[in-house]
Amino acid sequence: MNKPLVTPIDKNSSEETVEMAKFYEETLGFTPNSLFTMMRRPRIARAFLEMNQAVMENKGRVTSALKRQLAYLSSMTAGCRYCEAHAIRAAERYGSEQDKLNNIWEYKTYGAFNDAERAVFDFAIAASSLPNGVNDEIADNLRKHWDDGEIVEILGVVALFGYLNRWNDSMGTQLEEPAADDGNKYLGKNGWSRGKHQY
C-alpha cells in the first residue's frame, strides 16, 4: 500500500480522543495509530477499548507478560507486522523476560519455556490459523495446564488480536517508531520487517 486506507484523526481533536489516548500511553508508551482510525466512529473505538481492558485484565495465572507473548505469536501466525511489533513491545513493558523475548520463536524446545506456556502458544497458533487448527490434542494439552476461566482469557487474547490483525493489515496502519524499534530489536533476526506499515 502506498498510504493507509484511512488517515488517522488528530489525537487532540476532541476530549474523548485525548482521554482514550491516555490508556494507551500507559500501556505502550504511545497511542497507536489504529485507535485514531477507529475514532472516526467513536463507538467502535470505545467498544474496542472496553474489550481490550477486559481481555488484558489479570485474573490469575495468565499473566500480563504471557498474554502479550501469546498475542505476538497469534499476530505472527496471522502475518500482521504491525500487531507483532505492538505485542512484543507490550510483552517487554509488562515484564516478559528478555531471554524469552529473544527466543520466543523457539518456544517448543527452548528451556526458558515450560509445558504450560508451550500449550498456550500451540493453542494460540492453531486458533490463529486459517482454517482454524485447534484439534483434540491441542485442546486436551491446554486443559492439562489451565482451567476453564484461564482458557477463556487465553482465547480472549487470540480473538482480540484476530480483530486487530484484520484491522491493521487491511487499514495498512502506519507503524509507530517505538514499536518498530522493538520489532527490530526482538524480531529482526528472524526476518521481521515493517512490511506495508511503513510510509
Count Cβ atoms below 10 Å from residue 7 Cβ, excluding itself: 12
User: What is the per-residue pLDDT across 22-77, written as a single tens digit (0 to 9) for each?
Assistant: 888 888 999 999 999 999 999 999 999 999 999 999 998 999 999 999 999 999 99
Torsion angle (degrees, nearest 10) of CA 55, 195, 28, 3:
-100
Beta strands in 83-140 (DSSP E): none
Q: What percent of the chain has pLDDT over 70?
A: 100
Q: Residue holding cell 485447534? A: 134
Residue 82 identity (one-letter amino acid): Y
Cα distance between residue 65 and residue 168, in whole Å: 22
The predicted structure's pLDDT at residue 27: 85
Pick the CATH number of 61-192 from 1.20.1290.10, 1.10.150.120, 1.10.10.10, 3.30.530.20: 1.20.1290.10
Residue 168 has pLDDT above 90, yes or no: yes
Q: Residue holding cell 489451565? A: 146
Full DSSP string of 26-86: HHHSS--HHHHHHTTSHHHHHHHHHHHHHHH---SSS-HHHHHHHHHHHHHHHT-HHHHHH
The SS3 assignment for 121 reads helix
Q: What is the DSSP letter of 195?
A: G
The predicted structure's pLDDT at residue 26: 84
Q: What is the DSSP letter of 108?
A: T
